[in-house]
Amino acid sequence: MSFLTKFRSSTQEIPNISAEQLQIPKHVAIIMDGNGRWAKKRFLPRFAGHIKGVDALRNCVEFALNNNIEFLTVFAFSSENWRRPADEVSMLMDLFVKSLQKEVKRLLKHDVRLRIVGDISKFSEKLQTLILDAQEQTKDKQKLNLTIAANYGGRWDLVQAMNKLFAEQQNQNPKTDFGESDLEKYLSLSFAPEPDLFIRTGGEQRISNFLLWQLAYSEFYFTDTLWPEFDSKEFELAIASYQQRERRFGRISEQVKK
C-alpha cells in the first residue's frame, strides 16, 4: 500500500490537510548521513554502518516506486570524503563496486534508470566501467530516475558547467550576457527538475556542498534519525512535513491559492 493510499484511508495522520490537497514530491534529494554513528552506537566498525546504509537506500527506492516519486537523488560520496581514513575510503569503493554488481538486475526488473553524477575519473577503471555499464543497461527505464552523486560537490558542479559553457562559446560567436538557462543545461542534473524536497538524516542541518544550484527553492526536512534507520515510516514523516508547506516561489499566499 502506498503512503498516499494509506493516508486517504485515515485522514487523522496529518492535521488540517484534506486527502485531496495532498501532493507527492516529484523529485526528492537526500543526504544519507549517520552510517558511522549508527555503527559506533552498536560497537561495530564504521563500515558496518555503510553496509546497513545500502539496505536503507534499497528501501527508499522501493518507497519511491510505490509512491510515484519520479526522481530520487542521493549523496553517496562527496568530493570532500576523500579526506576520510584511507581504509574507510577503500572499503567504500569496494562496497560501491559490489552494490553495482548486485543491484543492476533489481533496477532493471523495477524499471529504474540509474545515473551517477560527479567526477568519476577519480575512481578505479573497474568502478568506472561498472558505472558506465549500469547506466547503459538502465537507460531506457522510466518509472524512477535514481541518481547517485559520487565524488560530487556543488561547487565542482558549477565550475564544470561553466567550463563547458565557455568551451562551447569558443566555437561560436562570443557571448557575454549569460542567463540561468545558459548554465543550467551543463549542470550534472540538467535532466531532472529541481528537487521539491530535500532530506538530511543524522541530525545535521546543512546542505554540505550538495546541489547548491538546484536546492534554491526546495523544501528542507532534517531528522535526527541515522541513515541506516531511515525506513518507510521515516520517509512518510518527511513527505507529511512537505505536504504541510506552502510553496510560493516568490508569490504571496493569495496568489498560490487561486
Kindly indicate the confidence band of residue 257, based on its pLDDT and cuts at 50, 70 and 90.
low
> Residues 59, 68, 81, 209: which is the catalytic one?
81
- pLDDT tens digits along 126-147: 999 999 999 999 999 999 999 9
Question: Known catalytic residue: 231?
Answer: no
> Residues 33, 145, 151, 157: which is the catalytic one?
33
253 pLDDT more than 70: no
pLDDT at residue 8, rounded to an integer? 45
Tell me how far the alpha carbon of residue 21 is from its chain's centroid.
Answer: 25
Return the H-helix or E-strand segment holding 220: strand 219-222
Kindly indicate the confidence band of residue 221, based on its pLDDT and cuts at 50, 70 and 90.
very high
Angular region, 249: left φ>0, alpha ψ -120 to 50, beta rest: left
pLDDT at residue 173, rounded to an integer? 66
- Nearest-angstrom CA–CA distance, 97 and 101: 6
pLDDT at residue 252, rounded to an integer? 54
Q: Which amino acid is present at 127? A: L
Question: Known catalytic residue: 81?
Answer: yes
In the chain, the DSSP E strands lie at 27-31, 71-78, 112-117, 144-152, 197-200, 219-222
12 pLDDT more than 90: no
Kindly indicate the confidence band of residue 19, based on its pLDDT and cuts at 50, 70 and 90.
very low
219 pLDDT more than 70: yes
Q: What is the pTM for the complete model shown?
A: 0.87
**Mean pLDDT across the stretch 38-46?**
95
